[in-house]
Amino acid sequence: MATKRSVGTLGEADLKGKKVFVRADLNVPLDDAQKITDDTRIRASIPTIKYLLEKGAKVILASHLGRPKGVTPKFSLKPLVPRLSELLGLEVVMAPDCIGEEVEKLAAALPDGGVLLLENVRFYKEEEKNDPEFAKKLASVADLYVNDAFGTAHRAHASTEGVTKFLRPSVAGFLMQKELDYLVGAVANPKKPFAAIVGGSKVSSKIGVIESLLAKVDILILGGGMIFTFYKAQGLAVGKSLVEEDKLELATSLIETAKSKGVKLLLPTDVVVADKFAADAESKVCFPATAIPDGWMGLDVGPDSIKTFAEALDTTKTVIWNGPMGVFEFEKFAAGTDAIAKQLAELTGKGVTTIIGGGDSVAAVEKAGLADKMSHISTGGGASLELLEGKPLPGVLALDEA
């Protein structure tokens, strides 16, 4: 797999006074009051930044947050400044933008050992388009590049890929190295039976991954918003649940592929439905899962599914989990996610390798107080799944070879 090639690292480079563009994945969950609900990704980014600061470098820190379309205040990185400053023990300077004159001025004024946090790179559509001119502008304020954004390494964007064309050296940070070392090792030769649990709401970006997962795993458990596209593909009633209409054919063919490969594909047998997408929604268990009444939406897997999933997971030796089983942010719809988290913690204690990936999945495990009970907590959900598929990660491929 292309991502196995060893990438350049910071090593003993002379960093004194150098301006280092650090791409981190600071895409943390925020509540309605813009409060950080899980800071795992911020904490995971600290060792690289601290190392650079100790070497006398100036750090220009960049990230995306969410999936904004243009400049959107609720996706600003400003709410992260106090936590970052606290963890680093210094005052992080917030830039009003990620490119332009003001950013150039702030970068030029940065003292050795200072940190400038750029505003959300996705406020520009050029970021996701990997526009070379935009990448050049990002690069123009720095001398070298460090990519520590493992969670975004599967995206060929300007700040993860394009920028490397303009900055040398371009190397991996400590988090990136740690994730690659662990995940490549664990998934290249997984102890079997090997199970994947896929849920969450990013259906269109994760449903494609399932095809390749079917070639690797013995058991595939589906939950979260993923399942309704599968039910609808079978002509079943899904009410107002999340459905990706253009993925119905793919869902049908995935069910066939699972059968032909002898993979145990488990869809929930029951779901918890709600009359609206809200914490105080009216809710009830719908059994079978495939008879969701009109006007209702599935927001969690039900108790019968939890039992079936538990029996299957009990037979495994390696489990990778990405995507919550339900809308765990609302207490009423957190039971499925909590049950998986608890069981994986128990299985880890019995010698099963458990890997949890993804911003929200990790947040759910943290909320349950079980993060330190898992074999590996990965800061990337989509990225760890793509790594598992054997796909090259563009953000890694673009870095210098060791």
Ligand X SMILES: O=C(OP(=O)(O)O)[C@H](O)COP(=O)(O)O
Residue 349 known to be catalytic: no
Contact between 358 and ligand X by CB under 6 A: the answer reads yes
Contact between 239 and ligand ADP by CB under 6 A: the answer reads no
Cα-to-chain-centroid distance, residue 340 = 18
- Where do we find the tokens 């409060």? 35
Q: Which does 242 bind (CB under 5 to 8 A by kind): ligand X, ligand ADP, none?
A: ligand ADP
Q: Which does 395 bind (CB under 5 to 8 A by kind): ligand X, ligand ADP, none?
A: none
Contact between 268 and ligand ADP by CB under 6 A: the answer reads no
| Dihedrals phi, psi of 272, to nearest 5 degrees | -95, 120
CB of 231 to ligand ADP, least distance (A): 11
Contact 232, 248 (CB under 8 A): yes
Q: Which one of 177, 322, 379, 384 is in contact with ligand ADP (CB under 6 A)?
A: 322
Nearer to ligand ADP, 135 or 198 (CB): 198
CB of 381 to ligand X, least distance (A): 3
Nearer to ligand ADP, 217 or 289 (CB): 289
How far is CA 323 from each of CA 101, 105, 125, 359, 390, rounded to the nearest angstrom? 40, 41, 26, 9, 19
- Short-list 362, 338, 398, CA closest to 44: 362
CB of 161 to ligand ADP, least distance (A): 21
Region near ligand X per CB under 6 A, out of 149-157, 171-179, 226-234, 285-293: 149-157
Q: Which one of 27, 305, 343, 348 is in contact with ligand X (CB under 6 A)?
A: 27
CB of 15 to ligand ADP, least distance (A): 33
CB of 121 to ligand ADP, least distance (A): 19
Q: What's the 3-state SS for the chain?
A: CHHHCCECECCCCCCCCCEEEEECCCCCCECCCCCECCCHHHHHHHHHHHHHHHCCCEEEEECCCCCCCCCCHHHCCHHHHHHHHHHHCCCCEECCCCCCHHHHHHHHHCCCCCEEECCCHHHCHHHHHCCHHHHHHHHCCCCEEEECCHHHCCCCCCCCCHHHHCCCCEEECHHHHHHHHHHHHHHHCCCCCEEEEECCCCHHHHHHHHHHHCCCCCEEEECHHHHHHHHHHCCCECCCCCCCHHHHHHHHHHHHHHHHHCCEEECCCCEEEECCCCCCCCEEEECCCCECCCCCEEEEECHHHHHHHHHHHCCCCEEEEECCCCCCCCHHHCHHHHHHHHHHHHHHHCCCEEEEECHHHHHHHHHCCCHHHCCEEECCCHHHHHHHHCCCCHHHHCCCEC
Which one of 173, 199, 302, 382 is the catalytic residue? 382
Residue 381 known to be catalytic: no
Q: Which one of 381, 388, 394, 399 is in contact with ligand ADP (CB under 6 A)?
A: 381
Nearer to ligand X, 144 or 368 (CB): 368
Q: Which one of 3, 48, 120, 152 is in contact with ligand X (CB under 6 A)?
A: 152
Which one of 151, 336, 359, 381 is the catalytic residue? 359
Residue 202 known to be catalytic: yes
Contact between 380 and ligand X by CB under 6 A: the answer reads yes
Residue 41 known to be catalytic: yes
Region near ligand X per CB under 6 A, out of 221-229, 293-301, 306-314, 378-386: 378-386
Nearer to ligand ADP, 141 or 364 (CB): 364
CB of 54 to ligand X, least distance (A): 27
Contact between 382 and ligand X by CB under 6 A: the answer reads yes
Q: Which one of 3, 7, 23, 25 is in contact with ligand X (CB under 6 A)?
A: 25
- Short-list 282, 279, 269, 374, CA closest to 334: 279
Contact between 323 and ligand ADP by CB under 6 A: the answer reads yes
Contact between 224 and ligand ADP by CB under 6 A: the answer reads yes
Residues assigned a catalytic role: 41, 202, 359, 382
Which residues lie near ligand ADP (CB under 6 A)? 199-202, 224-225, 242, 298-299, 322-324, 326-327, 329, 358-361, 381
Which residues lie near ligand X (CB under 6 A)? 25, 27, 67, 151-152, 155, 202, 358-359, 380-382
